[in-house]
Structure 1
Amino acid sequence: MSGVLSSVDARTKLVGQNRLELLLFHLGGSQHFAINVFKVQEVMRMPRLTRIPDRHPVVRGVTHLRGQTVPVVDLRHAIQMGPLKLNEEDATIIVTEYNMTVQAFLVGGVDRIVNMNWSEILPPPGGAGRQHYLTAITRIDDRIVEIIDVEKVLAEIAPYNSILSADAYDTELLEKVRGKDILIVDDSHVAIQQMRQVLEPMGLNIIEAHNGLEAYQLLMHWKEEGRDVNSNLVMIITDAEMPEMDGYMLTTEIRRDSELKETFIILHTSLSGNFNKAMVEKVGCNGFLSKFAPEAMAKEVQRLMREKMKMPPRPE
């Protein structure tokens, strides 16, 4: 337990400072890629794999780690660069946790961990091809590093069903909030689409921002226009990891603003629960949601809207 707590403490020191740690790796070529260290459980040599019938083409097989069955995804193949051509005994896997699931990514090799500021992480340029699988880019040692949209990769392997039954929605509440604004902030188009499928039946006016800086600038623009932000905006649902300004820094800046500090904010992230609890407490979010759990999202969003509207809890 002390190891877990020290790890949480070490990682949460970055929260509110707009910083992150990236694990750099390659996929059998000269181009470098990265994922956030928050998501990484360990890096190891490729273990023995069990082939499974009818597996997705990018899944090499499964392995057993600490009592769990973990799928091993060929990340090069998953982002449409073709299968990784390596002897499996020489290959490396990165074991990660996303959306409360554990999976491993087969890569050509791991370089190192770098500590950066989110202001150094930029949205990817427009275009087709591999950029379709990027959430951001950055420059390290005069080389472009591409940050992969792992949520998109996983959604393509195991698509989510975000359509909820009518019973998931609180009709009494939704009559009162219909047409009000809700701001969703995420750099992943997959995540935004998933949120929209849950929120659109609520009759809310959904406004998108694709990173924390874009969301913050929008809020400042609304203030300059003289809009009553707290009255019109029911809440903000923000991702944690985004280019230019992360969700923690966005929340910190909102809490520092005398006109915006009472805004309801949900942290919506694929990070593990232990880290989330520490981070939510530190930056002052009203709650957090793990990606992607549509039932939990509908329930938590409506619970907080009832609280904002000063309505009693929904009867069970």
Structure 2
Amino acid sequence: MATILDSVNQRTQLVGENRLELLIFRLNSQQLFAINVFKVREVVKVPHLNSLPGSHINVKGVASIRGVSIPVIDLRTSIGMKETGINELSNLIVTEYNGSVQAFLVGQVMNIVNMTWKDIQPPPDQVGKNNYLTAICEIHRDNQKQLVGIIDVEKVLANIIDYNIKISDELLNRDISQHLQGHKILIVDDSPTARNQIKSTLAQIGIEVFEANNGQQAYNLLDQWCNEGKTVTDEILMMFTDAEMPEMDGYRLTHKIRHDPRMSNLYITLNTSLSGSFNEAMTVKVGCNKFISKFQPDLIVEVVHNRMMEKLAEQTP
């Protein structure tokens, strides 16, 4: 199965072209699920799992893979599906999110499909706020269309890992903090969990937020302000955007903003769980001002502080 991902490094050029590739798999039913290939390190058969006493109920143990101990998470129970026996979950998808490596127990791993973000849609409102999907899409398989649910891995991990949103006292006590009260920031992310993490962090320094679920929604908001005669940089101090989102990804969003003279000077920080030098290169290519990996509260605040200092300097005669 690892051979499915042999060419992942060559596929990364799809990111930034409003395209993505999804790794399709099953859990314990006929329903299909997916995660972005770009976050996948490899797929392997389930090895021996060492127990981890006191761990979260959804952590089934630790696997030694290529000499590295990796926690193994039952993705089926993590998204609220019924547990019907670990033997049905025969594969591990080893992933990297926010600088951490973990493996997800899954059933049959199907294949990789090439998609455009325009074909990826948010889940219907009727599914409720407690679902574990960031998006859905349709693929053609066995001469018919099949629905695929794209897992909100941010939410799965947040339920297991205790992310600390506390900001260090040193940052809170900086003189620049007094200038932040009442300023607004636009947060663009398809994961409600990720948006809430950033929002809770910024609330500690008096920042208010606008939220958008995807790049298209964010651009529509900015475009509306411009059409109303408003100056975008007066409405918001800056924007944090994820990379992967339905309808329009963060790279395409940044590209459109930079090529729209009405809003081209907006300060944009790419804030994504896709880490590594590739994102740093993409940041330069599309024109982001900054790239940071999720989830680092102090670093988020440092970026806001630096942007505020730049804005104050711009206003000084």
Q: Same fold (TM over 0.5)?
A: yes
Confirm or deny that 1:225 pairs with 2:224.
Answer: no
Q: Which amino acid aligns with 2:218?
A: A
Residue 155 of structure 1 and its aligned partner are, at CA, apart by 0.6
Q: Name 2:67's counterpart in structure 1.
A: 67
Q: Summarize the alignment of residues 150-299 of structure 1 with structure 2, pairs less than 5 Å apart.
A: 150-169=153-172, 171-299=174-302
Specify the code of the residue in structure 1 equivalent to 2:262: E
Name the amino acid aligned to 2:19. R
Q: CA offsets, 1:113-166, max 9 Å, x none?
A: 111110100000123579610100001111110001001000101121102244
Identity %: 50
**Residue deviations 1:219-247 (CA, integer Å, cap 9, x gap):** 00000110011233211000111111111
Q: Which moved more, 1:168-177 or 1:141-150?
A: 168-177
In the TM superposition, residue 305 of structure 1 has moved relative to its aligned partner by 2.6
Q: Quick one: distance in 1 between partners of 2:26 and 2:149? A: 10
Unmatched 5+ residue regions in structure 2?
1-5
Per the TM alignment, residue 184 of structure 1 is displaced from its structure 2 partner at its CA by 0.4
Deviation of 1:180 after TM superposition, in Å, equals: 2.3
Report the Cα distance in structure 2 between the residues aligned to 1:208 and 1:156, rounded to whole angstroms: 22
Q: Distance in 1 between matches of 2:16 and 2:279?
A: 13
**What is residue 49 of structure 2 aligned with on the other side?**
49
Amino acid at match of 1:92: N
Correspondence for 1:104 = 103
> How far apart are the structure 2 equivalents of 1:93 and 1:16?
28
1:51: how far off?
0.6
How many residues are aligned here?
A: 305
Deviations 1:159-189 (A, max 9, x none): 2110224422364323334222210001111
**1:177–1:87: structure 2 CA closer, same or farther, 3 Å change rule?**
closer
Q: Give distance in 2, aligned partners of 1:268 and 1:303.
A: 16
- Cα distance in 2, alignment partners of residues 250 and 294 from structure 1: 24
- Separation in 2 of the partners of 1:304 and 1:7? 38
The 5 A counterparts of 1:74-153 are: 74-83=74-83, 85-87=85-87, 91-128=90-127, 132-141=131-140, 142-153=145-156
Q: Which residue of 2 aligns with 1:31?
A: 31
Following superposition, the deviation at residue 283 of structure 1 comes to 1.1
Residues 173 and 306 in structure 1, CA contact (< 8 A), matched pair in contact too: yes
Partner Cα separation in structure 2 for residue 44 and residue 279 of structure 1: 30
Query: What SS does the corresponding residue of 1:208 show, helix, strand or coil?
Result: strand
Match of 2:3 in 1: none
CA contact (8 A) 2:186 2:240 kept: yes
Counterpart contact for 1:59–1:72, Cα < 8 Å: yes
Q: What letter corresponds to residue 137 of structure 2 in structure 1?
A: T
Provide the rounded CA distance (Å) in 2 between the counterparts of 1:11 and 1:281: 19
Query: TM-score, normalising length from structure 2?
Result: 0.90
CA distance in 2, matches of 1:189, 1:34: 18
Q: Are the equivalent residues in 1 in contact too, given 2:8–2:38 (CA < 8 A)?
A: no
Gaps of 5+ in 1: 1-5, 312-316
Quick check: 13-22 or 220-229, which moved more? 13-22
SS in 2 for 1:309: helix
User: Do 1:23 and 1:111's aligned partners in 2 also have CA atoms closer than 8 Å?
Assistant: yes
Q: Does the 8 A contact of 2:8 with 2:37 survive in 1?
A: no
Letter in 2 for 1:17: E
Distance across 1 between alignment mates of 2:130 and 2:118? 20
Question: How far did 1:17 drift?
Answer: 1.7
Give the structure 2 partner of residue 314 of structure 1: none
CA 1:189–1:108 in structure 2 vs 1: closer, same or farther (change >3 Å)?
A: same
Measured in 2, the distance between the counterparts of 1:304 and 1:53 equals 45
CA distance in 2, matches of 1:191, 1:175: 26
> Normalising by structure 1, what TM-score?
0.91
Q: 1:282, 1:97 → 2: CA distance?
A: 23
Shift of residue 15 of structure 1? 3.4
Structure 2 CA distance for partners of 1:220 and 1:293, relative to 1, 3 Å: same
Deviation, 1:29, is 1.1
